[in-house]
């Protein structure tokens, strides 16, 4: 199944005057994915949007860990490894989504 969204990583950009947008960097330069504008919530919205691919991947990992655990199809070690990876990715996604200016 092909993805129906722009895959990450996505990068938050600013003009230095309070206007924010999200870019997808590529080998040939990249492109703008969305503009979140300016204002109080613009940077937070851009950070959340940029974190969306990682958030989706973390959710998919959690879904797999729960399904595999519930069906006892994976060993305890495999479930633990998958859960650890999901936790790491979840933490990264949350950090990206809640990123504050200057961090």
Does residue 36 fall inside a structural domain? yes
Q: What mean pLDDT is predicted for residues 45-49?
A: 93
Q: Please indicate, yes or no, if residue 4 is contained in any of the structural domains.
A: no
Q: Does a structural domain hold residue 80? A: yes
CA distances from 64 to 40, 55, 69, 78, 85 (A): 37, 14, 8, 11, 12
Q: 76 in a domain, yes or no?
A: yes
For residue 5, being part of any structural domain is answered with no
DSSP code of residue 18: S
Count of CB atoms situated within 10 Å of the CB of 76? 9
Residue 47 lies in a domain: yes
The rounded distance, in Å, linking the Cα atoms of 28 and 30 is 6
Query: What is the reported pTM?
Result: 0.70
97 burial (CB, 10 Å; 0-12 / 13-18 / 19+) is: middle
In a domain, 102, yes or no: no
pLDDT digits 0-9 by tens, 53-79:
888 888 888 777 777 665 544 567 777
Range 12-35 average pLDDT: 92
Q: Can you give the residue range of the structural domain that contains 90? A: 11-97
Q: How many domains does the chain have?
A: 1
């Amino acid at each position: 199944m092909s993805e129906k969204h722009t895959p990450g990583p996505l990068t938050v950009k600013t003009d230095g005057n309070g206007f924010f947008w999200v870019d997808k960097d590529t080998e040939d330069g990249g492109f703008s994915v969305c503009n979140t504008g300016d204002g109080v919530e613009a940077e937070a919205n851009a950070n959340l949007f940029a974190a969306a691919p990682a958030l989706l991947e973390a959710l998919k990992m959690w879904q797999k860990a729960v399904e595999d655990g519930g069906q006892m199809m994976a060993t305890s070690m495999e479930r633990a490894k998958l859960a650890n990876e999901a936790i790491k990715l979840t933490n990264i996604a949350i950090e990206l989504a809640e990123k504050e200016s200057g961090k």
